[in-house]
Homo-oligomer: A and B are copies of this chain.
Amino acid sequence: MAFSPAPVLEDLVADPLPRLTKQTHDESGLRRELAVIRDSGVATQRDERARRAALALCCRGVRELPQAIGLLVECLDEPGVLYRITEAIFRHGANITYVAGGARREAIADLQLEISGAADDTRLIADIGAVQGVTRVTVVPTFQTIYGKRVIVIGGGAQVGMVAQGAISEADRHNIRGERISVDTIPLVGEEQLAGAVRAVSRLHRARVLVLAGALMGGEITQAVREIREAGILVLCTSMAGSVPEAADVVVSDPVEAGVMAVMLIAETAKFSTELVRGKRY
């Protein structure tokens, strides 16, 4: 797909800017981001990242753009409804980025849908509302807007608690400045269980960075770390026995600091680069 960054940048700057905030950020990082976008030529990826990079570059402030719209669709709890909804969305040339079933009561189910790329959101909403089996459509904020990027913390209870402490305190400082970062954790025991949880991080909606916190991790867990790094997840770990520290991007001895650093690495309100720390031990 042909793609030139300059017009996109200009078009986007002409857009209304509903989420202007006052952060500064790293211009060279954003320019790198635009270069990646230009080279990748993938529509969804391009739009999302181009818009973010362009706006950030020009306004030095907009971080999370509501490119996707969130819809809460109340419908009959039966097979075929989602199929008909996706048909309506397909006719609009739009992409579904997230769907999950929510509450169910009697014969009614709630669906949380996130959709991007529709030319006319109002008509799309009307068309979804007209689908057989759909009883109500409400526009709601997307999870990206509400909960933002996710730091995932997995490992032993003692250390996970300390990493969470650091990450939550640091996320607080960035969220106050307009970021949206959440810290999601699970304490687990056992190589197989841990490896499964690590692998699933690359499939988790909005997950950006994993912190492995424990006293001993290796074997299958190390393999899982390599796989999710390939898939683009940044992996930090505490200093520990086993081979996981060799496979991680960064090793941080103090669990509170590991949590803080994980947040700094994904916060656009922070001046901190992965390249600065990759392969290091602190």
A contact set with B: CB distance below 8 Å: 40, 42-45, 48, 72, 77-80, 82-83, 86-87, 89-90, 93-107, 109-110, 112, 117, 140-141, 143, 146-148, 156-158, 160-161, 164-165, 168-169, 171-173, 175-176, 180-189, 192, 196-197, 199-200, 202-205, 231-232
Q: Nearest Cβ distance between residue A55 and chain B, in whole angstroms?
A: 15
Known: A103-B232, A164-B165, A168-B187. A146 touches B197 (CB 8 A): yes
A157 touches B171 (CB 8 A): yes
One complex includes copies of this chain to the number of: 2
The 8 closest A-B CB pairs, nearest first, are A157-B172, A172-B187, A182-B186, A83-B90, A99-B99, A184-B184, A83-B86, A100-B205
Contacts of A200 in B (CB 8 A): 140-141, 143, 146-147
Contacting residue for A157 out of B44, B48, B104, B169, CB 8 A: B169
A199 / chain B contacts, CB cutoff of 8 Å: 140
A42 and B79 within 8 A (CB): no
B79 close to A90 (CB less than 8 A):
yes
Q: A82 near B106 (CB under 8 angstroms)?
A: no
